[in-house]
């Protein structure tokens, strides 16, 4: 079978312990029975293996809220052809759960942190737990060889760019600045707070040299000369990378998205109980072949359900 995709982002919960200003979690509560079970998740991944899927990114909401997550990670890690199971988290529960996650087979973590200022942290997330998150990051850096620190670029944290550079250097983190994306219920916030990645580069250039190095599928990497530090920019808005995207997404309800800004093309929960895996794969061939090369902003995602 032709290889179409290699990475699956799968949301395991719509719940989050933060209420970040740019996410604006205003939605109807989901019945627990509608959320994908671990058994269903494992079945779905096995169905997708022939399409080239070899990397699994577990997302939420906040995935570490989900009970017995190490059990799921272990089950996924044991699937033949899966090369990497990683996790994206806000870091709140990381310190207390990191050891069991590693034992289960977790290879890498992406940690979201949008400010290094305690007051700003409380404003952005809605909670006063900055020290807990920092503790989780510091413990994780001693456990994983690769940790990506994801920072959403906003006007409120634009003055902290050099603080983040220093923090990443001190803690051996891969720093990535992400352009704020328009999502459901946050258009006003997006318009008021958006900062282009090029503005961040200009700010760095005002103090030191910064040089383009390379681009992978979703990140442009630059070298900051003064600090000899490689940093990344995810240019989701100014320079979308749809044509080279090799990811697909499944939300916590089992809906398959070929694009973050697309509509769901099928629901695995419905298919799993009516068709066998080969019949589902036949449907998937047509759907995945229609993966868009351009983004359609007419459909704004609900981030806590689809997982970014």
Question: Residue 179: beta bridge partners?
Answer: 153
Confidence of residue 211 (pLDDT cuts 50, 70, 90): very high
How does pLDDT run across 247-277, given as a tens digit for each residue?
A: 999 999 999 999 988 899 999 999 999 999 9
Q: How far, in Å, CA of 65 to CA of 204, rounded?
A: 37
Residue matched to tokens 């399409």 = 51
Provide the percentage of residues in the chain whose pLDDT is more than 90: 77
The closest alpha carbon to 98, from 54, 138, 61, 38, belongs to 138
pLDDT of the residue at 1: 46
Provide the percentage of residues in the chain whose pLDDT is more than 70: 96
Global confidence as pTM: 0.93
DSSP 98-160: HHHHHHHT--EEEEE---S-HHHHHHHHSS--HHHHHHHHHHHTTT-S-EEEEEEEBTTTGGG
pLDDT of the residue at 3: 46
Q: How far, in Å, CA of 216 to CA of 233, rounded?
A: 11
pLDDT of the residue at 28: 56
pLDDT of the residue at 23: 81
Confidence of residue 25 (pLDDT cuts 50, 70, 90): low
The whole-number average pLDDT for the span 136-149 is 95
Quick one: CATH architecture of 7-306?
Alpha-Beta Barrel (3.20)
Q: How far is CA 160 from CA 198, 212, 235, in A?
A: 16, 21, 19
Confidence of residue 4 (pLDDT cuts 50, 70, 90): low
How does pLDDT run across 153-203, given as a tens digit for each residue?
A: 999 999 999 999 999 999 999 999 999 998 877 788 899 999 999 999 999
pLDDT of the residue at 187: 84
How does pLDDT run across 34-87, given as a tens digit for each residue?
A: 999 999 999 999 999 999 999 999 999 999 999 999 999 999 999 999 999 999
- Tokens at residue 23, please? 């996410």
pLDDT of the residue at 214: 95
The whole-number average pLDDT for the span 194-218 is 95
Q: How many CB atoms lie within 10 A of CB 158?
A: 13
pLDDT of the residue at 226: 87
pLDDT of residue 302 exceeding 80, the answer is no
What is the rounded end-to-end Cα distance, in angstroms, of the chain? 28
Reported as type and span, the H/E element at residue 200 is: helix 197-205
């Amino acid at each position: 079978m032709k290889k179409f995709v290699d990475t699956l982002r799968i949301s395991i919960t719509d719940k989050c312990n933060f209420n970040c200003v740019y996410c604006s979690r205003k939605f109807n509560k989901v019945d627990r029975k509608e959320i994908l079970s671990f058994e269903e998740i494992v079945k779905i991944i096995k169905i997708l293996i022939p399409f080239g899927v070899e990397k699994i990114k577990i997302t939420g909401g906040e995935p570490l809220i989900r009970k017995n997550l190490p059990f799921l990670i272990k089950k996924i890690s044991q699937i033949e052809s899966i090369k990497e199971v990683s996790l994206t988290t806000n870091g709140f529960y990381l310190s207390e759960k990191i050891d069991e996650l590693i034992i289960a087979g977790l290879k890498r973590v992406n940690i979201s942190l949008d400010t290094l200022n305690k007051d700003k942290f409380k404003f952005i997330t809605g909670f006063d737990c900055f020290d807990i998150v920092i503790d989780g990051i510091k413990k994780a850096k001693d456990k994983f060889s690769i940790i990506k620190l994801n920072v959403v670029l906003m006007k409120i944290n634009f003055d902290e760019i050099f603080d983040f550079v220093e923090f990443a250097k001190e803690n051996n983190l891969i720093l990535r600045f992400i352009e704020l994306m328009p999502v459901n219920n946050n258009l006003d916030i997006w318009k008021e707070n958006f900062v282009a990645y090029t503005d961040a580069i200009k700010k760095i250039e005002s103090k030191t040299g910064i040089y383009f190095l390379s681009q992978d599928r979703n990140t442009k990497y630059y070298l900051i000369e003064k600090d000899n530090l490689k940093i990344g920019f995810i240019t989701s808005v100014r320079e979308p990378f749809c044509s080279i995207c090799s990811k697909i997404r499944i939300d916590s309800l089992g809906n398959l998205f070929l694009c973050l800004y697309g509509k769901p093309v099928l629901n695995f929960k419905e298919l799993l109980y009516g068709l066998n895996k080969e019949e589902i794969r036949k449907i998937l061939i047509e759907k995945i072949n229609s993966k868009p090369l351009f983004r359609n902003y007419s459909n704004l995602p609900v981030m806590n359900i689809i997982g970014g």
